[in-house]
Amino acid sequence: MKSYKGRFEPTRFEDLAVTIDFHCHSACRFCIVQEGMNYFRGVPFDAFREAVDDNAKNSRYRRLIFTGGEVTLEPKLFDYLEYAGRAKSFDHIRLQTNGRRLADMDFARRLVDAGVDEFFVSLHGPDAESQDHISQRPGSFDEAIAGLRNLRELGVCIITNTVLTTLNVDRLTDLVDLASGFSPARMEFWNYLPMEDYADTRDLLVPMARLGPALSNALGRAKQLGIPALAKYVPRCVLGEHGDLTDNSQPDVIIVEKFYDVYPEFNCIYEAQCEFSETCLGLHHPYISKFGWEENLLSPTPRTTPWKEPEYGMAADPDEPGRPGRDARSSTLPREWTALVEGVAESCGARLESAHLDRRRCIYQFAFPDGGSVDIVLTKHDPDQPALIRTRSFNVHYRNVVGANKDQLATLTRAAIRAIAERDQGNLKLDARKGLVGAAAFRQRASRAEPSTTFSENE
């Protein structure tokens, strides 16, 4: 099994991010998809519509997040918003944006009227000199600030996002002071991920000995001002008293598959020793290659329980920026999914302990009174992948067998698999992909001598 540190967990299974555009009118020096701009495709409207229809039927997600590139440049953005709003299956719709087009109040209000109630706005410097240098676009700071003012006037949820690099690490506290004027529901600080400059020839990676104190001071200042904050991709232990603000969770994402080919993996030299190794990613490989393992700087919290590889990843708490946490959407499966195993547990003297459904899999956890248990896992039907059996809709597996009575567990497993095979009508959907695959994931590159090719959303 691949190490936990190489996976994109923990996951906010209740949030779905859809990448609808790969264009931008800024050119941020740290951009992780710089080479993908104007090359990767956004999600075609038909694929988006399929995801929305699926959620209306199965209630998998509470929040829909539009991301890109710069999504406000997508000509059909309001078509996407209109379709999502008509489905009435999402509690929140979030836009990730550099905020520049929001300087136009009419445009900002139109977005809010279309159902966007959360705005995740880039803020990478506390003044025009610093942010315009980072974005390489004069005036971008003033536009973003005007956009934030408009959002505050419209009364929507504002979340700011700051990518941590050598270009702004010494100005983080000033940046918190600036953001406080817009009453953000949360500030997020994301450590830089070099996805196209693995060797960090741009010198944007900040050594932890410098990043830790600077970020800790900024998090402390945010706490003073009553602003919720979190940090991503920074080892928990370097944040000192603010280590509990580490949050590496990400939503389910529909994006071009190629995007993940260059996504850095993470490791920590103290992974097996640290109490927080399930949720703290440690250091990413580009950082380790440049600065080493930081064994003298990192300080693991001694474990109170043995480390165990998470079989299914970590499910993060619901994302409720600026508001007290609330219970996650009920884990009760739609009727057609529970019907697959209805009566199986009782016929074997067991109980269905829990069931979980997300875009990628359905997991039934069965348990016996004596403590024996087994998980039955459904994934998308794929003849090229290993499986115990295949039904019309699924590859079926069993995992996490616990208990000494193997005959009892085997009887239950056979009964569950037999029921699923008999009851699966081929109309239930799972999808193992991170996003689009194949030719549809890319825009054709026009040659220098030819004009650019325009694509419709359904191509």
Judge whether 317 lies within some domain. Answer: no
Does residue 35 share a domain with residue 96? yes
Half-sphere exposure of 186 (CA within 13 A, CB side): 18
State residue 47's pLDDT score. Answer: 86
Q: Collect the ranges in the chain with pLDDT lower than 50.
A: 1-8, 36, 324-330, 444-459
Concatenated DSSP letters for 100-139?
A: SGGGSHHHHHHHHHTT--EEEEE---SSHHHHHHHHT-TT
Token pair for residue 291? 């600065």
H/E run at residue 50: helix 45-58
Does residue 376 share a domain with residue 279? no
- Which residues neighbour 13 within 8 Å (Cβ) at sequence distance 6 or greater? 60, 61, 252, 315, 316, 358
Token pair for residue 155? 């009364």
Does residue 143 share a domain with residue 205? yes
Judge whether 408 lies within some domain. Answer: yes
Does residue 224 share a domain with residue 138? yes
In the chain the first and final C-alpha atoms are separated, in Å, by 37
Enclosing domain of residue 375: 335-423
Domain boundary among 261, 291, 321: 291
Does residue 282 share a domain with residue 354? no
Does residue 261 share a domain with residue 125? yes
Judge whether 451 lies within some domain. Answer: no
Domain count, the chain: 2
CATH number at residue 97: 3.20.20.70
Does residue 108 share a domain with residue 236? yes
Judge whether 430 lies within some domain. Answer: no
- Tell me the C-alpha to C-alpha distance, in Å, between residue 298 and each of 208, 212, 234, 269, 295: 9, 10, 11, 9, 6
In this prediction the pTM is: 0.85
Does residue 61 share a domain with residue 149? yes
Judge whether 433 lies within some domain. Answer: no
Does residue 360 share a domain with residue 248? no
CATH number at residue 409: 3.30.200
**Residue 119: closest CA among 98, 133, 139, 136:** 98
Does residue 272 share a domain with residue 340? no
State residue 456's pLDDT score. Answer: 33
Judge whether 297 lies within some domain. Answer: no
State residue 309's pLDDT score. Answer: 66
H/E run at residue 201: none
Give residue-wise pLDDT tens across range 412-454. 999 999 999 999 999 998 887 666 555 555 554 443 333 333 3
Place of tokens 């890109």: 68
Does residue 339 share a domain with residue 274? no
Judge whether 15 lies within some domain. Answer: yes
Does residue 64 share a domain with residue 198? yes
Judge whether 101 lies within some domain. Answer: yes
